[in-house]
């Protein structure tokens, strides 16, 4: 950011008194602009032995497959946001949302929060950010064509849990070169 | 916000083309300023049969008791943020962080994510946002002097789980007048 949201004057990066890290501070009015990680919320929509994936029609990763997910908006809960994204991207309705996993990605200031969900019916189709929507069995998943590492990891954990018959909550920190798993 | 972070011109609230809700949009350069919920991360620091609470030395809720918690910063994972807040507010070190609960508060655009943790030693004390830090047994908790509803709820769930001997992950949406619980 270059200008103050409160007075329109230029901002500079400095460490405010009593703090320990760089912030964007207004050179005129002194307003401190805090910047914080954003939460991305999404679903694993389950239909019988299949899950619903969407093929992206936007960058980044145009043409790659992913689970319905997007930025949580002000005024909505994580579950409401995950349902909304599923409706927007796949024209699909989900029910019975259950927390499945949280994936911290500190290097890109994002937190993914994914839900298990039941697909209500098979009346779905491409939304405005999708080229195609379809149900995949585990053995049909295009693992080399998945848009994001965090989505691939979510699906791996889903199929692992499904094979044991017990779904648990997962948390991992995902860095470019390593991951940290938490006991849950 | 009143001014554009990119060019310093006035912003107006409008619904951008292809979107469905009001955003702050620059009247000159057209930049759309998205605003999203912030995550607050914190710990339940456990020492034997006691938990650590801090007495706030700042508004809101000056003089009330709470668990160590604060805004997640860019560049850190939720667990790292929760450990940092515990160190800052209580000069206390925690280990073995385990996801305990997520509490969505859509009406104030906050998501609380709380961890169970082991207090490493009893060498703690008031940080710069605290008047006092102390360990409480369940029967000593000053329930009428707890700073925030979400913290009171976190502690209720902690003592419920502890009484059964089984700690599980919790998720709830907390509104001013009601709550929604999720199956986990």
Neighbours of B75 (CB within 10 A): 13
Q: Which residues of A47-61 are buried (b: 16+ CB within 10 A; e: fewer)?
A: beebbbbbbbeeeee
Counting Cα atoms < 13 Å in the Cβ hemisphere of B123 gives 3
pLDDT value for A184:
86
Which spans in chain A are helix H? 78-90, 149-164
**Sign of the Cα pseudo-torsion (A120, A124, A130, A136, in order):** positive
pLDDT band at B18 (very low <50, low <70, confident <90, very high): confident
Helix (H, G, I), strand (E, B) or coil at A32: strand
% pLDDT > 70, chain B: 100
CA-nearest of A23, A35, A33, A176 to A106 is: A176
Task: Enter the pTM of the model.
Answer: 0.96
Give phi and psi for B11, each to the nearest 5: -105, 155
Instruction: Tell me if A131 sits within 8 A of A47, measured CB to CB.
Output: no
| Mean pLDDT across B68-78 | 98
Cα(A177)–Cα(B15) distance, integer angstroms:
39
The CATH superfamily of B38-181 is: Nucleoside Triphosphate Pyrophosphohydrolase (3.90.79.10)
Decide if pLDDT at B184 tops 90. no
pLDDT tens digits for range A92-116 = 999 999 999 999 999 999 999 999 9
Assign B153 to helix, strand or coil.
Answer: helix
Kindly report the nearest CA distance between residue B124 and chain A, in angstroms: 20
Residues of B in contact with A10 (CB under 8 A): 8
Domain locations in chain B as residue ranges: 1-35, 38-181
Chain A partners within 8 Å of B96 (Cβ): 183
Which residues of chain A does B1 touch, with a Cβ-Cβ cutoff of 8 Å?
5-6
CB contact (8 A) between residue B36 and residue A71: yes
| Structure-token pair, residue A177 | 């070169």
The residue of chain B with its CA nearest to that of A34 is: B73
The model's pLDDT over A19-59, given as tens digits with 9 standing for 90+, comes to: 999 999 999 999 999 999 999 999 999 999 999 999 999 99
Q: Residue B179: which of B101, B79, B125 has the closest Cα?
A: B101
Contact between B78 and A18 using a beta-carbon 8 Å cutoff: no
B1-35 has which fold? Ubiquitin Ligase Nedd4; Chain: W; (2.20.70)
Residues A59-83: pLDDT tens digits? 999 999 999 999 999 999 999 999 9
Q: Does residue A40 sit at the B interface (CB-CB below 8 Å)?
A: no
Query: Which one of A7, A18, A75 has the shortest CB-CB distance to B106?
Result: A75
**Buried-state track B123-141, b at ≥16 Cβ within 10 A, e below 16:** ebebbebbeebebeeeeeb
Each residue's pLDDT tens digit, B77-118? 999 999 999 999 999 999 999 999 999 999 999 999 999 999
N-term to C-term CA, chain B: 38
> Which residue among A4, A75, A98 sits closest to B183, beta carbon to beta carbon?
A98
Given pLDDT bands bounded at 50, 70 and 90, which one contains residue B52?
very high
Q: What's the pLDDT tens digit per position in A122-164?
A: 999 999 899 999 999 999 999 999 999 999 999 999 999 999 9
pLDDT, averaged across chain A: 97
B16 at A interface, C-beta within 8 A: no
State the pLDDT at residue A138: 98
Q: Using a CB-CB distance cutoff of 8 angstroms, which residues of chain B are in contact with residue A150?
A: none
A-B contacts (CB, under 8 Å): 132
Mean residue pLDDT of chain B comes to 97
The two domains B1-35 and B38-181 share their CATH topology (first three levels equal): no
How far apart, in whole angstroms, are the C-alpha atoms of residue B113 and residue B104? 9
- Confirm or reject contact between A146 and chain B (CB < 8 A): no
């Amino acid at each position: 950011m270059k200008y103050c949201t409160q007075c329109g004057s230029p901002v500079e990066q400095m460490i405010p008194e009593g703090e320990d890290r760089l912030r964007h501070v207004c050179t005129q009015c002194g307003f401190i602009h805090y910047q914080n990680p954003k939460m991305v919320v999404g679903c694993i929509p389950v239909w019988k032995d299949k899950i619903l994936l969407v093929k992206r029609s936007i960058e980044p990763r145009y043409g790659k497959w992913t689970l319905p997910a997007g930025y949580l908006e002000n005024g909505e809960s994580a579950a409401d946001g995950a349902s909304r994204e599923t409706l927007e991207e796949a024209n699909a309705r989900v029910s019975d949302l259950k927390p499945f996993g949280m994936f911290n990605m500190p290097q890109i200031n994002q937190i993914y929060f994914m839900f298990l969900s039941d697909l209500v019916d098979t009346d779905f189709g491409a939304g405005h950010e999708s080229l195609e929507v379809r149900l995949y069995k585990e053995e049909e998943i295009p693992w080399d064509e998945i848009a994001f590492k965090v989505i691939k990891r979510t699906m791996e954990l889903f199929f692992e849990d499904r094979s044991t018959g017990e779904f648990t909550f997962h948390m991992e920190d995902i860095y470019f070169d390593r991951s940290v798993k938490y006991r849950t």
